[in-house]
Amino acid sequence: MIECPEIFGEDEQGYPVLMMTDVPDEYRPAAERCVQGCPEAALRITGLPPAAYAVIGRDVMDSADKVEIHELITRYCHILDTRNWADLDKIFLPDSVVDSGPTLGVYHGIEAIAEFWRDYPHPDGHHALNVLVEEEQPDGTVKVVTKGFFARPGGFNGGDYHDVVRRTECGWRFVSRTYVPRWKVDVPAADQVNA
């Protein structure tokens, strides 16, 4: 089945063909070659200008986007570990929402998030594991699920992050970040190692 029929169709033998008629002449041969291998990504592969992507209603998320989303999650961990609240705009939108669960609350906007985090006794280390980047939604957002693992004085705890992220002119940012606690391990004082 051919998706985006306004751009891609099938010839008499059922092979993909480029249907879009307003592809600039200098890009058309490359677009026609690409459509045979990967119709959905043909626009991105050929290097068409961003205005051409509007024809399919969205940009095509590629592997570079997925790497940037992984880096967004890593940057979140580093910002929390270094308490660098001035860099929150590098991971959040002005109206982002952080839901820290029923015990810790929900915070709307960078200022509210920063105020909560400044006073919160954070774990010593935040770690993101098993990042799963799902498909881009029609509204341009992407859902991401991550396992969180935290080292704190006296033990460890962890859970799941359910994120919604969006590509901006400045890179990917969290629209919302919801934490669901799953487990906690307390280490008796006698068993703790002091570094």
Q: What is the pLDDT of residue 107?
A: 96
Four-way CATH pick for 63-191: 3.30.70.141, 3.40.50.300, 3.10.450.50, 1.10.10.10 = 3.10.450.50
Q: What is the pLDDT of residue 143?
A: 96
pTM over 0.75: no
Q: For residue 90, what is the enclosing H or E element?
A: none
Q: What is the pLDDT of residue 106?
A: 96
CA–CA separation, 111 and 86 (whole Å)? 10
Pick from 2, 41, 43, 3: nearest CA to 23: 43
Q: What is the pLDDT of residue 144?
A: 97
The domain limits of the chain are 27-60, 63-191
Pick from 177, 123, 182: nearest CA to 158: 182
Helices marked H in the chain: 28-37, 42-45, 50-53, 63-82, 110-119
Q: What is the pLDDT of residue 59?
A: 53
Q: What is the pLDDT of residue 193?
A: 65
Q: Which residues of the chain have pLDDT under 70?
A: 1-24, 27-60, 190-195
